[in-house]
Structure 1
Amino acid sequence: MKPIYDQAVRAEIRKRMSPPNRESVAEIARSTGITTQTLYNWRGQWQKQGQLVPATSKAPEQWAAADKLAAVIQSAALSGPELGVFCRERGLYPKQLARWRQAAEDANGPSAPSMADQRELQRRNQELIRQNRKLERELQKKEKALAEAAALLMLSNKLDQLWPLDEEH
């Protein structure tokens, strides 16, 4: 039978997952005895509701893109002191939010490559990879040939030292 957790427990867990605490799911599971799968399910529900719950001890710059976007969306209507309070509560800086907002805007801007452009870049990348492999094989062959020529030259010199040719005869 699955244990049923009341809203107070869930709120406490959400607070521990949210910035500035940012405890990982594994840490919370160890300390509370709640299974990691339950915690991941709750976190997924909260994220679908647009709440910022990264549940990781990573620094904000290392958060997943979805968590950064959630922070940008939550702070979109805030300014001045409200934005400061929001940032302090979550361990963020307003400059980070501005940079993340700009990245989100740029992702869908006119400079973003179209699907055809992306396919062309992928095709070109594959072509360059094939060309690189071909050149590497060619280089290996030439290195082997050079090593063989060096060995033959060394043997020839040794032979000349052992049995010098009499040029007088």
Structure 2
Amino acid sequence: MKQYPEERKQAVLRRMMPPENTPVRVLSEETGISDVTLYHWRKQARSGGMVVPGDGRNPEGWSPEDKFAVVLETAALNEAEVAEYCRKKGLYAEQILAWKEVCMHANATAVEQARSARDQARSAKKEIKELKRDLRHKEKALAETAALLVLRKKMHAIWGEGEDE
């Protein structure tokens, strides 16, 4: 197995990280380093706590572990530091806030989740009830209109078309 200098390894890992997000296949072709070695380096970096997607996807396609790592890295940062972090990683502050919100709701207690589900079911039932009521009113209006058209047609058939109504 060929040994690579630590500086080269770090440079290749930086290319795997945001904002470049260069896929392993492309790096392997460009650098001449085998893809197995690159995957191993990426795995080591991830186990060390680095956010290294390295698959060419945009940040929304990252794994939950990578998103959680970003949330943890930015938890103690102020707004200016988060902005700097986002520029360096190729992210948006809104993405990090959304991921943080998801993380916070993922740990909600069962009681809170049940309450939320119950509230959603209640509002859905209310909406269904209102829609059914509206549908009944519209069906009645449509039936009345159809009956009037039939009566008008019969009236014209009996008395003729030319007379004023």
The TM-score normalised by the length of structure 1 is 0.63
In structure 1, how many angstroms separate the alpha carbons of the residues matched to 2:69 and 2:89? 12
Corresponding residue for 1:90? 89
Aligned-pair CA distance for 1:75: 1.1
Deviating above 4 A after TM superposition, structure 1's stretches of 4 or more consecutive aligned residues are 111-114
Corresponding residue for 1:15? 14
Aligned-pair CA distance for 1:15: 0.8
In structure 2, how many angstroms separate the alpha carbons of the residues matched to 1:66 and 1:47? 9
Corresponding residue for 1:55? 54
Cα deviation, 1:95-133, whole Å, max 9, x if unaligned, reads 10011011112112114879xxxxxxxxxxxxxxxxxxx
Q: Which runs of 5+ in 1 are unaligned?
A: 115-169
In structure 1, how many angstroms separate the alpha carbons of the residues matched to 2:62 and 2:95? 12
> Match of 1:34, SS?
coil
Corresponding residue for 1:67? 66
Give runs of aligned pairs for residues 123-134 of structure 1, distance below 5 A.
none
Matched, 1:99 2:98: yes
Quick one: which amino acid aligns to residue 65 of structure 1?
P
In structure 1, how many angstroms separate the alpha carbons of the residues matched to 2:62 and 2:105? 19
Distance 1:81 1:31, change over 3 A: same
In structure 2, how many angstroms separate the alpha carbons of the residues matched to 1:56 and 1:95? 22
The TM-score normalised by the length of structure 2 is 0.64
Q: Which runs of 5+ in 2 are unaligned?
A: 115-165
Number of matched pairs: 113
Quick one: which amino acid aligns to residue 13 of structure 1?
V
Cα deviation, 1:137-157, whole Å, max 9, x if unaligned, reads xxxxxxxxxxxxxxxxxxxxx
Distance 1:6 1:99, change over 3 A: same
In structure 2, how many angstroms separate the alpha carbons of the residues matched to 1:36 and 1:105? 36
In structure 1, how many angstroms separate the alpha carbons of the residues matched to 2:65 and 2:39? 15
Query: Percent identity at matched positions?
Result: 34
Matched, 1:79 2:70: no
In structure 1, how many angstroms separate the alpha carbons of the residues matched to 2:74 and 2:26? 28
Q: Give the RMSD, CA atoms, in angstroms.
A: 1.7
Corresponding residue for 1:3? 2
